[in-house]
Structure 1
Amino acid sequence: MSNQDPYQQYPAGGWQPTPNPSGPAVPDPYAQPAYGQPPYGQPAHGQPTYGQPPYAQPAYGQPVPAYGTPATSAPAFGPPAYGAPAYGAAPYGDVPYGAPVYANPGYGFPRFGGGFTYASWIARVGAYFLDSLASLPYLVGLIYMASTSVPGVDRFGNPTDQPTSMGALTFGVGALVTLVVWGWNRWVLAGRTGQSWGKKVVGLTLQRDVTGEPIGVGMAFLRDLAHYVDGILYIGYLLPLWDGKRQTLSDKIVKSVVVR
């Protein structure tokens, strides 16, 4: 029978662990932990227990949040970041179901039909008149050639005016200058930027009907060729007076619109 007092907290000679020759010594369960150390069997602050991730550390493969970032996925209070869509707005590139896409925002026009109107007929006539000033070199050469012509006869013996060599040269140079200026203004500038000189003065822009992008140099050239269709009884030129999108026949052929 043991003589040890069962109500004594510590043995008289101190706790003596049973020797364990096959392993490490058994720690004293009555010993007090050192300052800053957790009790026996408890994990230290910030240290994980078996099978658990460290304290305040994300699971493997998850990004580490920045200091001060909210723990939840809800956005922080305040306005959205610069360039981000407003709360509740469709992200860039997403169009609500059924909403027509009128223009690309990269060219200054909103996508959902606001911010611009189709150009009026009188405004389009004014822009075309200003573009037609590129024909002045051709007209000057033609007038000079006609005024310097000399009397002569054609191959059938009929009397006619014959242009001089200087008059013919002036007309040829004037026609070439007009072609270069017209092509640069109507095909290159209007095709790449949407605005010829005349359209820029009046405040109009030529663009694709669906995307709102410039129609390109090739389509601008084809559009000018299609004006011959507009010239049939001038119906195509008058069509913007009652057409919903104020398009001429040439606009419908190349799928373009002119907007303000």
Structure 2
Amino acid sequence: MNTTEPTSSSSGQGTVRPAVRATQLTKTYGTGEAIVHPLRRLSIDFPAGAFTAVMGPSGSGKSTLLHVLAGLDTADDGRVQLFAQDRDGSGAVREVELTGLSEKERTLVRREHVGFIFQAYNLVPAMTAKENILLPSSLGGPAPEKHYYDLVIDRLGLADRLHHRPFELSGGQQQRVAVARALVSKPAVIFADEPTGNLDSRAGAEVLSLLRTAVDEFGQTVIMVTHDVNSAAQADRTVILSDGRVLETVTAPTAAQLASKLVGSEGAR
């Protein structure tokens, strides 16, 4: 892991450094007539301190991209780099190269630098909400700062639910616990895979608001895969994939705009 100042990219909001960078990612499954190409030499930067949604038709490579970026899977070719600020307060940015790491090494990187929110919550049934939130640190990840932990718990409205187990919580409350678990260690990037997929509209809107808060109030970076245009419209920008490639990036998207572009992406396949 090397200290570096990553090359910044330009956006409508000025020049920003990337939080994660994918370069020429290629991934295939199967062989012969059954071969599938979820990623085809895909390159993209995701800006730090921003909320990015990733959309596309079924089979466009959304989840594969998210899992490769988060170190849950590996690409056949290409590079993935995370850029994380040092925790010593110096502001120095470290490049964390995921390419070529073993599963054990990628696990250590995830503990230190990645937060992940799953559609199915992935809470441990026998643990309380507090124990689930602190699970990454108990497994060797960075311990959360008490002030920041208290701030997150208060903002997510979990103070009176910390000693409840998952079966005692609603779906929305369980996802809030999952959001808190991803937030409290201040990871370089928070990845969210269809985080509202198992929730009703009210609970889903609440979770999206929390992700928006993570960016706007806590300065964190969120990358979310979703199939829902209303969810994606909450992001600062939406990346549309088609056939394993970046088709278009939409800044300040609206639901109607994204719906129209997704119809076009189906035709582009």
Q: State TM-score, norm by structure 1.
A: 0.24
Q: Taking CA–CA contacts closer than 8 Å with sequence separation of 6 or more, which of the two structures ends up with the larger relative contact order?
A: 2
Q: State TM-score, norm by structure 2.
A: 0.23
